[in-house]
Structure 1
Amino acid sequence: MNIASTSPSTHSHLVLIVEDEPAIASVLEAYLRRDGMRTCMAADGIEALQLFRDMRPDMVLLDINLPGIDGLDVLRHIRDEDQTPVILVTALADDVDKLLGLRLGADDYVIKPFNPAEVVARVKAVLRRSANMHTVSAPIRVGDLEIDEQDHVALVHVQNKAIPLPLTLTEFRLLACLAAQPRRCFSRSYLIEQCLPESDALERVIDSHISKLRRKLQQAGQEDLIEAVRGIGYRLWQER
C-alpha cells in the first residue's frame, strides 16, 4: 500500500491507481501528482477494494488484468457500493472487453500502451463533468421522473414514493441530456460530445450505456421512456 501527495490541501482530488505493474503505476502516480492530485495505489483486486472502502477516492484508475480478483470483478463490487467514477486501463484492445466494462458501469477506458498525459486529461475530464453537475439548481421534471443535477440524484415518483435510480455518471449525464429536451431526437455523436467529451469512444458505446439506463428505468416502472430512432439516435418520449 502506498499513499502519496504533492499538496497539503485535503481538498485536492484523490485518485486510486489499481495496477500490478510497478513501472506503470509509478508513471501514472507521477503525472497525477504533477497535476496536484493525491494518489493511493493497489497492486491487486483485494487491496484495491480495501483501499476503496478505507480511502473513498474521487476517482479509480482500474487495470483489468489483476492477480486474484480481476478488474471487472472489482468494478462490479465498486458499483454495488458506490457511483465513484472509474476509468478502465487495459491491454485488451478487443471492443467486446471495452463494452463489457462500460456495461458494468465504467465511465471511460484507455488502452495500453498509452500516453500518461492523455490519461491525466481523461481523469480531469471525468472529474470536471462530475463537478459541473452541481452548477444547475432547478431539478428537471418529466412525468414521474425527476433529475436533480445539483445533488446528482435521479428519482422516479410512484404512489407518493421517490425511488432513486442507481445510475453511473455517464448514465446520469445521458438521462439529464435527454430529459432537458423531451421528444427531441439526439444523435449518438451529439450524446458522445455532450456526455463523453475528450473520449475516443465509438458511437455504439452510447448504445451500451443507453441499454443499461433503459433497464434501470424499466425496473423503476418507466418502460419505453427512452425511444430509439432508427439511423439517428435516441429521445426521451413523454406523452403530452
Structure 2
Amino acid sequence: MHDAPAQHTHDVLLVEDDEVIRAATELGLTDHGFRVTAAADGLDGLRHFRERTPDIAVLDVMMPGLDGVSLARRIREESGVPVLLMSARCDPVDVVLGLEAGADDYVTKPFDVGVLVARLRALLRRAAPLTDRVTAREPLTVPGPPAAAPALRFGDLTFEAASLEVRRDGTPVSLTTVELKLLREFAASPGTVLTRDLLLERVWDYVWSGDTRVVDVSVQRLRAKIGRERIETVRGFGYKLRP
C-alpha cells in the first residue's frame, strides 16, 4: 500500500544562483507542501514567472545579470504576486531598496526553512482577497444603522471601509494590499498609538517579534500616498493616525 502523495497547495518561484542553497531550499519547501519552480538567475526567473505565474516568488538579492531587487521591480510592474527577498546582507539600505522596489518581505541568510515557510504562508494569507478578511473582524464604521456604513474621513482623506476605496481630496488613491491593511488598522483606532510589533502581528501575521524595518518602510510608502502629515511617528513606540 502506497502513501498518498503530498498535496501541493501553492506554486512557488524560487530564484537563487547558489546551487547548494537553491537545492536545499527547494527540498525544504517541497517537504512543506509547496510546488517549486527553481531558477538559477534573474533572467531565467523572469522567464519562468511569465510562462507560469506563481502564487508567490522567493528571490535572492545578489545574482548575476538581473539581481533580485530588479527582478522584484519587474514582477511588481506586471503582477501583484507576493515577493519575498533573500539576502546574506542585512544592511538597512539593502532592505529599504528591496521593499521600495515592491517586495513584501525579506529574510536574511542563513535562515531556518520553518521560518521561511511561516513567512510565505503569512504572505499568502495576506494576498487573499482583502474583503474576505475584513468581514472576519470588527467593522470600521461608526455606530449607526448597519446599512449606512458611512465613510471614514480624516482631513482630506476618505476611507470607504466596505469597498476599501481611498480618496484624497476626492481623487482615488491606489494602495497595495499591505498599505490598505495598514490604513485599515490606523483608521480603526484614530489617535491611538499602534506599536510596530502590533502592526507586524495584524498586517503581516507575524506572532513573533520580527524585524520592524518592514513596518517602517511600508508606513513611509503609505505616507507618500495619503499625506506625510496624516500618520505621526511616536518615537520609541510606533505610529498613530491623526484624527
In the superposition, the TM-score normalised over structure 2's length comes to 0.78
SS of the equivalent of 1:14 reads strand
> Contact (CA 8 Å) 2:173, 2:226: kept in 1 or not?
no
Rate the CA distance shift 1:22–1:200 in 2: closer, same or farther, 3 A: farther
Tell me whether 1:142 sits opposite 2:152 in the alignment: yes
Give ranges in structure 2 of 5+ residues lacking alignment.
Answer: 142-150
Aligned residue identity for 1:178: F
Note the 1:88-237 alignment, pairs <5 A.
Answer: 88-131=85-128, 133=130, 134-137=132-135, 141-143=151-153, 144-147=158-161, 154-156=165-167, 159=170, 163-167=172-176, 169-196=177-204, 197-198=206-207, 201-218=210-227, 224-237=229-242
Paired with 1:30 and 1:51, the residues of 2 have a C-alpha distance of: 19
CA RMSD, Structure 1 to Structure 2 (Å) = 2.7
Separation (CA, whole Å) in 1 of partners of 2:19 and 2:213: 34
The structure with more radius of gyration: 2
Q: CA deviation at 1:231?
A: 3.7
Q: CA deviation at 1:61?
A: 0.6
> Structure 1 residues 199-208 or 76-85, which shifts more?
199-208
- After superposition, the Cα gap between the structure-2 partners of 1:190 and 1:139, relative to the gap in structure 1 and judged at 3 Å, is closer
Mapped partners of 2:90, 2:152: distance in 1: 39
Q: Structure 1 residues 129 and 227, CA, compared in 2 at 3 Å: closer, same or farther? A: same
From 72, 97, 100, the counterpart of 1:75: 72
- Kindly provide the CA deviation profile for residues 58-77 of structure 1, in whole angstroms up to 9, marking residues without a partner as x: 11111001121111111111
Would the alpha carbon gap of residues 200 and 61 (structure 1) be closer, same or farther in structure 2, given more than 3 Å must change? Answer: farther
Counterpart of 1:107 in structure 2: which amino acid?
A: D
- For the residue of structure 2 that corresponds to 1:156, the secondary structure is strand
Structure 1, gaps ≥5 residues long: 1-5
What is the CA distance between 1:17 and its match in structure 2?
Answer: 0.5
Q: Which segments of structure 1 move beyond 4 Å, counting only runs of 4 or more?
A: 6-9
Which of 20, 29, 37 in structure 2 is aligned with 1:32?
A: 29
CA displacement at 1:79 relative to structure 2: 1.9
